[in-house]
Structure 1
Amino acid sequence: MRSMPLTGGPCPCMTHGEGPSWDGGCIPRTEGPEFRPRPRAEPALGHRSSLYFASLGATIDGLQQQARDICNRVTESRQEDQTVLNSFRESLLLKVLKLAEQLEERLFRSYDSYNKLIEERLQELSEVLERVEGVQAELRCICCTIEAAYQDLCLQPEP
């Protein structure tokens, strides 16, 4: 990519002067600013002077055309940069989407394996709780038996 900024400089077409920043949407003028001298009543020039001023006018016209060409090339270059940037952005978005899908797939596999592990542990917990209920029922029976034996011992007369 070129090192020219896409925003923040004077417009390359030079029609806006130093005012607004260039945002890439400005189309350079195909016709540059024309420097037209004000019509004046000028004294007639000699042949040699007339050729000099005609040559000078042609040089100015050439410089104006070169400036317009440079502005056009700068604008085209910036448009190419914007195209490259847009293409880069699209390819980056596609890669990010693919990575996000891969991450999501890995998460689901991880969830699945953990769900199986949790299910196994819950089954084990359920079995342990059933055994605890059985032991608790046996303990109640033992407590009832001990209580009955104690009451029998307490109700017997002493010798």
Structure 2
Amino acid sequence: MDLPSSDLPSTSLKDSQMTEDSNHSPSRGKSSSNSMTDTGEQHTSSGIDDISKSAQELVIKINDSRTSDQKVFNSFQEKLLKKVTEMCQQMQEHMYNVYEENSNVMQVYLQELSDVLERCSQLNSELFNASQALESLRGGLAISHASEP
């Protein structure tokens, strides 16, 4: 992960050169060297603190970004669920309209079938009556044929 340059702890070339110069300078006394080492340790400690602070700020930014991402995702999910629900309702309405249209067409066909079956029943009754009339006629012809010598 790249750190923005403004978030990096500031150290100057002059500070590092001064530390090197004080460590290698033969004209400086021992107390001066110790005080420079203490200053260097404080500077290093301050640098570590700055890096730690920058890392903590980055973690906070990452967590904030994740929270924001979760909010965006939740919003997307809500909108998607709403849209899916709307589409399901539209499909259901369309399905019911098709059912109604089909029911009307089937009602017409069922009425036609009922009319045809009623006509078949009437024809069957007429055929039965005609068959009985023919049977009576045949029976009458048989009696008349039997009475003739």
- The interval holding the TM-score normalised by the smaller chain is 0.7 to 0.9
1:152 aligned to which of 93, 115, 140: 140
Shift of 1:86: 0.3
Which residue, 53, 60, 65 being the options, matches 2:53? 65
2:92 corresponding residue in structure 1: 104
Match of 2:69 in 1: 81
Q: Distance in 2 between matches of 1:48 and 1:93?
A: 66
Per the alignment, residue 27 of structure 1 pairs with none
Q: Partner of 1:148: helix, strand, or coil?
A: helix
Q: Distance in 2 between matches of 1:84 and 1:154?
A: 101
TM-score normalised by length of structure 2: 0.73
Superposed, 1:31-46 pairs within 5 Å as 46=34
1:79-121 per-residue CA deviation (whole Å, 9 max, x = no partner) reads 1110110010011011111111111111111111111111111
Q: Which amino acid aligns with 2:34?
A: G
- Taking the aligned partners of 1:114 and 1:46, their CA distance within structure 2 comes to 100
Match of 2:114 in 1: 126
Match of 1:140 in 2: 128
Which letter maps to 1:110? V
Aligned residue among 16, 41, 45 for 1:53 = 41
Report the Cα distance in structure 2 between the residues aligned to 1:48 and 1:64, rounded to whole angstroms: 24
TM-score computed with the length of structure 1 as normaliser: 0.68
1:7-41 deviation line (CA, Å, top 9, x unaligned): xxxxxxxxxxxxxxxxxxxxxxxxxxxxxxxxxxx
Other structure's SS at 2:46 match = helix
Any gaps of 5 or more consecutive residues in structure 2? 1-30
Unaligned runs of 5+ in 1: 1-43
| Equivalent position amino acid for 1:109 in 2 | N
**What is the aligned-residue identity percentage?**
29
Distance 1:140 1:61 in 2: 113
Counterparts of 1:150 and 1:77 in 2: how far apart (Å)?
105
Determine which structure has the larger helix proportion and give its number. Answer: 2
Q: Does 2:83 align with 1:92?
A: no
Residues in 2 aligned to 1:85 and 1:49: alpha-carbon distance in whole angstroms: 53
